A and B are shown apart, each in its own frame.
Chain A
Amino acid sequence: MAGIGTLYNPPNPAETRILTWRFGKPNSWKIDTYLADGGYQTIMKALQMTQEQIIEEVKVSMLRGRGGAGFPTGLKWSFVPRSSPKPKYIVCNGDESEPGTCKDRLLIEFDPHQLIEGLMIAGHAMGSQHAYVYIRGEYRFLIEHLNGAIDEAYAAGVLGENIRGTGFTFHVHTHSGAGAYECGEETALLDSLEGKRGVPRMKPPFPAVAGAWACPTLLNNVETFSAIVPIIRDGGAKFLSYGVPKSGGTRLLCVSGHVHNPGVYEVPLGMDTMTFINGIAGGVKGGKLKALVPGGSSCPILTAEECQNLPMDYDSVAKIGSMMGSGGMVVMNEHTDMVAVALRIIKFYQHESCGWCIPCREGTTWLKKSLQRYADGGGSEADIDIINELAKNMLGRTFCALGDAAAMPTISLVTKFRSEFIEYLKKPRAAHHHHKHELVGIH
């Protein structure tokens, strides 16, 4: 069993450790070491700044949402109506459920006080006194761990009423999920936080205006809030300088699959994809590179050719039709069965579809059935087009992005690996051994 405080993979000297610089230091998660490293001084600095100045600094940093959508954080912060007479809430998304993603848990495990301080700065900037950290139920150990850090912060007088005599009051609470990918979607998360089934809400109104308990709410990912500390401490321009002009700073990349050194590594945005894979990730294991999921399984998959000379920043990856997403990079070698990959990905989205929107509920179900039949050797070439068309019909037709998240990888797999799908049909039926997944969704 992995114990708290043991690094999961050794850090690499080629990393740029801005958010993770304290990882691996003894007791990095304890408040005394955090204070010794200058912790909770950035909130004091922030309290000397106006709300506008803080938001401006975040805008300058070009920090973009680290949860998946990549929306400019400073802009999101500016949408919250700070003059509203209603209370404002800070909600931190620690649901981390996108397949391939395992970074937020490390930020909570190794530097929880950095996250708390980031939430406090956001609280001051929004005029909010309460933050809720929503953590997926599977991360029970992390909820307890963060609760411990919060207790330490109250005991040290850095959380609570009139903190250090500044007049600033702030409280942080944790909230446990109970197993639902959908709750990583911000409006579904808010419904879940309110004690309901996690189904997405109609937008507008956006959470900034009517979020938690119908009050103005700032909702960001764990990594996004953690990045606020270096941004305010060293300035937005400094943070921006680590990355590229439209994608500021560093990112935690979670590399998994067929590589020699799988792990979570912090690198500057704009780093060359193959340099990362062949360098820090240790190169492709078991053969040549065949495909890459650049940022969680909802992203359109990239071929080995598309990965050449590809800077890893939001706009460059978007330009070739995919996404930086959540930072979950899944590497596949030349022996990977892409039919099996397509089937496994769609099974996940079918299982997790909340059933609220028909194109997603029915679409994922039919895609799963079609791909299962195909994988079992009962398909035909016409199925490839049917799968493609069906998936395309889901795009943009649902309240939240789960429908798209299911459709996008499917479309990319059947188009970019069409020849492999056709070859697959020629194999004798007995060669198709596919584990019958027993996960059952709503059907």
Chain B
Amino acid sequence: MTFSPALEQRFEKMLKAYPEGKTRSAVVPMLIYAQDETGAVTEELILEVAKRCGVTRLQVDEVVGYYSMLHRKPQGKYHVQICTNISCMLVGGTELYEHCSKKLGIGHKETTPDGLFSLEEVECMGACSWAPTTTINYDYYNHVTPESLDKLLEDLRKANQ
């Protein structure tokens, strides 16, 4: 399995960052970067990461089930995450999530039939003072309202027509 040249370069550097013989440390960062290119943590990817880090297949598999950002199924092209934790909840985060769910016609960890959007209700993402917060892929959006979210989704949809 090979990745893009930029990612290969990142992995090469990553494996050297830890003390000698401690390449197991690279398992989680390698998985999270690699899944951006593979679309999900596949069996092939698990075996590849195990090989590169010099660990067993199981040592990779067990972390996939633990970390919430690692996913075995592909997400939509745009993965929309909406926080409903306490700070967001107080200023409309829950309503924002419900609005988005209705708008896209999908629930938690579901993907639209065209594969464009997936939705996830998430825990605190660390943007509490600028709540409610939404992220799309890795981009943060602060002070989000149902109206601003509609526009955001519409723009993304248009960009893909």
Is A32 close to B, CB under 8 A?
no
Complex Cα distance, B122 from A181, in Å, reads 12
Tell me whether B90 and A330 are in contact (CB under 8 A). yes
Decide: A198 near B66, CB < 8 A? Known: A8-B129, A138-B126, A344-B84.
yes
B-side interface mostly: mixed
Decide: A213 near B19, CB < 8 A? Known: A138-B69, A293-B86.
yes
Residues of A within 8 A of B67 (CB): 137, 177-180, 198
Tell me whether A336 and B90 are in contact (CB under 8 A). yes
Complex Cα distance, B67 from A130, in Å, reads 26
Complex Cα distance, B29 from A195, in Å, reads 9
Is B87 close to A, CB under 8 A?
yes
Partner of B63, one of A99, A100, A196: A196
What is the size category of the interface that chain B forms with chain A? 35 or more
Complex Cα distance, B16 from A173, in Å, reads 10
Complex Cα distance, B123 from A437, in Å, reads 11
Partner of A258, one of B22, B90, B97, B140: B90
Decide: A9 near B55, CB < 8 A? Known: A137-B32, A439-B108.
no
Partner of B131, one of A256, A348, A354, A435: A256
Within the complex, the shortest CB–CB distance from B70 to chain A, in Å, comes to 5
Within the complex, the shortest CB–CB distance from A93 to chain B, in Å, comes to 13
Complex Cα distance, B86 from A297, in Å, reads 8
Scoring B residues 57 to 89 as 1 if CB is less than 8 Å from chain A, else 0, what string do you get?
001001100111110000000000000111101
Residues of B within 8 A of A404 (CB): none
Residues of A whose CB lies within 8 Å of any CB of B are 1-2, 8-9, 87, 96-102, 105, 130, 132, 136-141, 173, 175-181, 192-198, 213, 254-258, 262-264, 293, 297, 328, 330, 332, 336, 340-341, 344-345, 348, 351-352, 354, 435, 437-439
Residues of B whose CB lies within 8 Å of any CB of A are 17-19, 22, 24-29, 31-33, 53, 55, 59, 62-63, 66-70, 84-87, 89-91, 94, 97-98, 107-109, 121-131, 135, 138-142
Additional pairs, 4, CB under 8 Å, beyond known A9-B130, A256-B129 = A99-B123, A175-B25, A181-B123, A255-B129
- The contact sample of 25 A-B pairs, CB cut-off 8 A, is A1-B139, A8-B130, A97-B124, A99-B87, A138-B69, A138-B126, A175-B29, A178-B70, A179-B70, A180-B66, A181-B123, A181-B124, A192-B28, A195-B26, A197-B66, A198-B66, A213-B19, A254-B128, A256-B90, A263-B129, A328-B87, A328-B128, A330-B86, A438-B108, A439-B123
